[in-house]
Amino acid sequence: MADAPTAQPTAEATAETTAQTNDDTPPSPPTAGKRKKLLTILAVVVVVGAILWAIWYFVFEAGRVHTDNAYVGADSAQVTSLVSGAVTEVRVGGTQPVRKGDILVVIDPADARIDVATAEAALLEAQQKYGQTAALAGSARSKVSSRNADIAQARARLADANAVVARTKIDLDRRQQLIASGAASGEELTTARAAYQSALAARQLAQAGVASAIATENSAGADAAASEALVRGTTIDTAPDVASARARLNKARLDLARTVIRAPVDGVVTNRQVQVGQRIAAGAPIMTVVPIASAYVDANYKESQLRDVKIGQPVELTSDFYGDDVVFHGRVTGFAGGTGAAFSLIPAQNATGNWVKVVQRLPVRIVIDPKDMRAHPLRVGLTMDAVIDTRGK
């Protein structure tokens, strides 16, 4: 009996069997050579990255100290009125740039002009008084010369009186000798005696005249000395009264000039506190002018960062105001005299038993290159990122 023919599998059955075989077969593991190759590539990448980082750090970052705790500052000029009065003009507003000498505020100058006129009149009066005093000194000197002549005349009269006394005394003596012999009468003797007494009285009067002339001359000399003392060693420009009056005039003119308030520095007006019509007192602040061109940066570095920082080292700064594309260049110019905590309103008290050390920050003053400031002006109070390069001198 012949064998029955074997059934042939259909195409669908064959495909199903193949799919089952593929699903049940586990994936073949990577070869050892492939794993080694991947590890080698990874190691090379790590080494190259480390080398590049080391190059970047030692070339670009080593010796550079960073901080973002830095702020723009400036020595702002407080504008105050030096005289009191009513404001008639305010020529600037807030945020307005001004140049040194520009007019900011004008105060009513009426009272100041009156003071100037009064001081000018006082100066003229002092000059006239000096001229009068100088003339009186000359007159006093003339009086002294006149009194000297009066003394000479009084002395001449005294000499004449002495001569008369001597003559009458001789005549009286002669009459007394002749009266004994009867050659002279008693009437003649009486007449001679009376003449002698009259001569004595005239001499006393002449002596009093000399004394009076001398006293008058002394008084005139004292008056002349007093008058000369007022003008001795001075001129009409250097006399004390004239100089005092001129100083008052200069003060009045200065007060008049101060009615026009001008900008003390170049900068930007801020914090304006004055209005037209307002009456301000002397010394009252009216606005602030911030000198933008001379702004600086105070960078607060940790004390541990300042080991190698020295005055004169270069600094690179950036600001969020302009972004990282604008780099300002500056130099370290000084260190503050103490940390911020040392000068705070309530200083830290570290005498307790639970004291914990806190790293302090010291302000470092940085001056920015004026060219950079002119190209990109900053404003007071802006934050900055500061990087000091300590690798140079």
Residue with tokens 């006129």: 117
User: What's the CATH number where 382 sits?
Assistant: 2.40.30.170
Same domain, residue pair 240 and 358: no
Q: Which residues pair with 67 in a beta bridge?
A: 386
Q: What are phi and psi of 37, to 5 degrees?
A: -65, -40
Same domain, residue pair 281 and 316: no
Same domain, residue pair 90 and 206: no
Among 229, 253, 277, which residue terminates a domain?
Answer: 253
Cβ contact 111:85 at 8 Å? yes
Q: What is the pLDDT of residue 5?
A: 44
Q: What is the pLDDT of residue 156?
A: 81
SS3 assignment, position 251: helix
Whether residue 4 is contained in a domain is answered as: no
User: What's the CATH number where 149 sits?
Assistant: 1.10.287.620
Closest to 140 (Cα-Cα) out of 225, 209, 19: 225
Whether residue 10 is contained in a domain is answered as: no
Whether residue 43 is contained in a domain is answered as: no
Cβ contact 383:71 at 8 Å? yes
Sign of CA dihedral 273, 276, 278, 284: positive
Q: What is the pLDDT of residue 289?
A: 94
Same domain, residue pair 71 and 116: no
**Cα 368 to Cα 384: distance, rounded to the nearest angstrom:** 12
Same domain, residue pair 304 and 340: yes
- Return the structure tokens found at 19: 């799919």
Q: What is the pLDDT of residue 138?
A: 67
**Residue 238: which residues within 8 A CB-CB, separation 6 or more?**
none
Closest to 319 (Cα-Cα) out of 251, 385, 370, 245: 385
Same domain, residue pair 302 and 384: yes
pTM: 0.61
User: How does pLDDT run along the chain (393 residues), one tens digit per residue?
Assistant: 344 444 444 545 444 544 444 455 555 555 777 777 788 888 888 888 887 766 665 655 556 899 999 999 999 999 999 999 999 999 999 889 999 999 999 999 999 999 999 999 999 998 888 787 777 666 666 666 666 776 777 778 878 778 887 878 777 777 777 666 666 666 776 777 788 788 788 888 878 877 877 777 666 666 666 666 666 667 778 888 888 999 999 999 999 999 999 999 999 999 999 999 999 999 999 999 999 888 999 999 998 888 889 999 999 999 999 998 999 999 999 998 888 777 766 666 666 666 677 788 999 999 999 999 989 999 999 999 999 988 765
pLDDT digits (tens, 9 = 90+) for 46-87: 888 887 766 665 655 556 899 999 999 999 999 999 999 999
User: What's the CATH number where 263 sits?
Assistant: 2.40.50.100
- Full residue range of the structural domain in which residue 374 is found: 65-75+291-389
Whether residue 297 is contained in a domain is answered as: yes
Cβ contact 228:52 at 8 Å? no
Q: How many separate domains does the chain show?
A: 3
Whether residue 56 is contained in a domain is answered as: no
Among 265, 288, 311, which residue terminates a domain?
Answer: 288
Query: Residue 320: how many CB atoms within 10 A of its CB?
Result: 11
Q: What is the pLDDT of residue 256?
A: 95
Residue with tokens 């973002």: 68
**Cα 174 to Cα 287: distance, rounded to the nearest angstrom:** 111
Q: Are strands 85-90 and 323-335 parallel, antiparallel or unpaired?
A: unpaired
Whether residue 47 is contained in a domain is answered as: no
Same domain, residue pair 103 and 191: no
Same domain, residue pair 247 and 264: no
Whether residue 171 is contained in a domain is answered as: yes
Residue with tokens 């009216």: 286
Same domain, residue pair 336 and 261: no
Same domain, residue pair 196 and 181: yes
SS3 assignment, position 379: coil
SS3 assignment, position 293: helix
Cβ contact 286:81 at 8 Å? yes
Same domain, residue pair 321 and 376: yes
Query: Residue 158: how many CB atoms within 10 A of its CB?
Result: 20
pLDDT digits (tens, 9 = 90+) for 17-33: 444 444 555 555 557 77
Q: What is the pLDDT of residue 98?
A: 94
Whether residue 375 is contained in a domain is answered as: yes
Same domain, residue pair 245 and 320: no
**Cα 142 to Cα 223: distance, rounded to the nearest angstrom:** 11
Among 237, 253, 269, which residue terminates a domain?
Answer: 253
